[in-house]
Amino acid sequence: MQQQPEQKRNEGTATVAAAATVHHDGHGNTKQDADEHDHDHDDHDHDHGGADAGWKSHWPLLSSLAILVLMLVMEYGFHIIPPFPVDLVVYVAAYLLAGYNVLNLAFRKAKRFDFFNEFFLMSVATVGAFAIGSYSEAVAVMVFYSIGEWFQDAAVNKAKKSIKALLDIRPEEVTVIRDGQPLLQHPSSITLNEIIRVKPGEKLALDGLLETATASFNTAALTGESKPDTKMKGDAVFAGMINLEKLVEVKVIALFKDSKLSKILEMVQDATARKSQTQLFISRFAKIYTPIVFALAIAVCLVPYFFTGDYNFQVWFYRALVFLVISCPCALVVSIPLGYFGGIGLASRNGILFKGSNFLDVVSRLNMIVMDKTGTLTKGVFSLQEVVAVDGNEQALIATTASLEANSTHPIARAILAYAGKDFQHATVENLEEIAGHGLKGTIDNKAVLAGNAKLMNKFAVVFPKELTRLSDTIVMVAINGEYAGYLRIADEIKPDAKQAIDALHKLNIRTVMLSGDKQSVVDHVAKELGIDQAFGDLLPEGKLEKLQQLQAPGNHIAFVGDGVNDAPVVALADAGIAMGGLGSDATIETADIVIQNDEPSKIVTAINIGKITRRIVWQNIIIAMVVKVIVLLLGAGGIATLWEAVIADVGVALIAIFNAVRIQQMKV
């Protein structure tokens, strides 16, 4: 169950365009002829055109369809049968118009001794139909097969485009200030520390630090959430954000190729190349299935000779052709990768990046989520939670403490000053002294003021309530003129949706565990408040790794969720590594299999639900395709189904599977 980091990281690097050719694979082609095979597919896709080309490029197929309809109307509607060889010539013309691409690919593959593929299968079946005089059926097989191929190409192209367009929204030009003048430049030409301007309504092209006092941005491209996000001067802003209100200036901190959005796009491109276990199974299945079908078709044609007294070669040859047509596994081969494309696209629209379709399968089977605390379940920012003054005057206690803390850069000091507010006017502090590991000491209005922990109070013999030492949060005690005056409780604030996420995971019968480097009392407090099943504190990075290894018992499918650099090894070791991508470290995001862009714990549940939806639809397609094919195969072998029923069933089940897979992209989770 354990998977080494380097194995997980190197499962695929092809682009979306290259990955999309998988919809024709699965007929026994090996990696050794991959380049030539891909070239074959490129020709096939180009000729069919998919959704990219207009209807003008499909005139051969449309002409063939028109000829077929005309001939059928003449023969069955008006009982006009063209004399031989006129009918043969007309049908051959229609056949070549519709099937040129298929025949060409079958010939090219046959030259490489690759006979077990859908193109060779369709060619053999239709040429055989011509040989026994079933002209209209032969043309119909090729026409409807080609129409089905067009729908397949169109659906796959749509999935590819929706994924690529979803994130490839980087602007083509940016306004940069050089020598005091605004210049329009391509983002790739901008260097570090240059100042760029972003007009209202424009997308930010590069990552940077906000130089303007305040600004409001739409972050939907990165987080999946369209609500405005207010930023202050010095805050980090990222490529893809949309400036909402006024002209702003941004100092560039990352090159165009290194921006967060560029990395996201690369992740999604790589994701479509990583096959799931289901896709790999279908590829292996098709590799074995196709030659077996050829053998069975030959058996259907020849074996009855030994058991039937009135054996008619033409009758049994026709049944074998029906068997070949319906056996084509294209419905499976196209609908399964298309389903996974849809799952990746749906996740991206919800601010979740899967780095491979294989991880959609993994999350659908999870039964345990192991999480870091700081930055994952909590905001990772200290905030003042409670003020208690002995004399009841909390405002005065805040004013005194904030004045003392005003010259400190400690996170606790920043939390106190943030609570006091921007308009706070601090008093003059004299004889300020910072006592390392204890707190601050100074004089305000001729009063000796102490602000710090229990060690500071003990150092100056200040009597304070001993129960304060048992509180789980950080406590800043204040003493004035040697007398205890009250305390301030400071804690890392729990994310608003953390409780909702844990409850939802429990409803899915998923066990929750928290691993943290914070002291055990703090970890226990957060775990109790959120309802987490098990929590471990006081852990160094190697301690987290050891705990995860202990949890990886047989039958446990585990995801680890983290954001810090120290979480990267644990993220790599888990079955599915999930990174909080908004505030998370680059190392963790790079190592993770799944990235949550808006840092919301509830997105963990969304990711799991998307995995379950994708897996459910993929297996629906597999079952529908196999059931229909088995039924028609049996009917064909028994002489009940004709070539007409075979081709309609084949194309029909392929279209049902395609439309079912496309449905994923429109779902809400």
Runs of H (alpha helix) within 112-134: 118-131
Domain 353-378+495-610 is classified in which CATH homologous superfamily? HAD superfamily/HAD-like (3.40.50.1000)
Could you read off the pLDDT of 242-275 as tens digits, one per residue? Answer: 888 889 999 999 888 777 666 656 655 555 555 5
Distances (CA, A) of 124 to 43, 118, 268, 270, 558: 21, 10, 39, 37, 49
Strand order in the sheet with 534-536: 352-354, 594-596, 576-580, 558-562, 368-371, 511-515, 534-536
SS (H, E, C) 499-553: HHHHHHHHHCCCEEEEECCCCHHHHHHHHHHHCCCEEECCCCHHHHHHHHHHHCC
Average pLDDT, the chain: 79
The average pLDDT across 128-150 equals 79
Residue 15: the pLDDT is 27
The letter for the amino acid at 4 is Q
The letter for the amino acid at 209 is L
pLDDT bucket at 366, cuts 50 / 70 / 90: very high
Structure tokens at 429: 């502090």
CATH number, span 174-258: 2.70.150.10
Q: Which of 156, 152, 163 is nearest to 270 (CA)?
A: 163
Residue 237 vs residue 480, higher pLDDT? 480
Residue 537: the pLDDT is 86
pLDDT bucket at 162, cuts 50 / 70 / 90: low
The average pLDDT across 633-640 equals 81
Out of 372, 518, 575, 650, pick the active-site residue.
372
Measured CA to CA, the distance from residue 432 to residue 448 in angstroms comes to 10
Q: List the single range of 17-31, 261-275, 335-349 with lowest mean pLDDT.
A: 17-31
Residue 546 vs residue 587, higher pLDDT? 546
Nearest 5°: the CA angle 643, 647, 650 is: 135
Containing 389, the helix (H) or strand (E) segment is strand 378-389
The answer to whether the CB of 488 falls within 8 A of the CB of 507 is no
Residue 320 vs residue 441, higher pLDDT? 441
Residue 130: the pLDDT is 85
**Report field, pTM of the whole predicted structure over 0.85:** no
Radius of gyration of the chain from Cα atoms?
Answer: 34
Alpha-carbon dihedral sign for residues 540, 546, 550, 552: positive
Structure tokens at 556: 């446990």
The average pLDDT across 340-366 equals 86
Residue 37: the pLDDT is 38
pLDDT bucket at 534, cuts 50 / 70 / 90: very high
How do the domains of the chain map onto residue ranges?
18-165+269-346+613-666, 174-258, 353-378+495-610, 380-493
DSSP of 182-245: EEEE-GGGPPTT-EEEE-TTPBP-S-EEE-SSEEEEE-HHHHS--SEEEEETT-EE-TT-EE-S
Which of the listed ranges 136-140, 277-281, 364-368 does the model predict with the highest average pLDDT?
364-368
pLDDT bucket at 76, cuts 50 / 70 / 90: low
pLDDT bucket at 60, cuts 50 / 70 / 90: confident
Could you read off the pLDDT of 288-301 as tens digits, one per residue? Answer: 777 887 888 889 88
Containing 363, the helix (H) or strand (E) segment is helix 358-364
Residue 669: the pLDDT is 77
pLDDT bucket at 231, cuts 50 / 70 / 90: confident
Q: What class is the 380-493 domain?
A: alpha beta
Residue 372 annotated in active site: yes
Residue 155: the pLDDT is 63
Burial of residue 304, with CB atoms counted within 10 A of its CB: 0-12 exposed, 13-18 middle, 19 or more buried: middle
The reply to whether 174-258 and 380-493 are identical in fold is: no
> If you count DSSP H runs as helices and E runs as strands, how many of each does the chain have, helices first?
23, 22
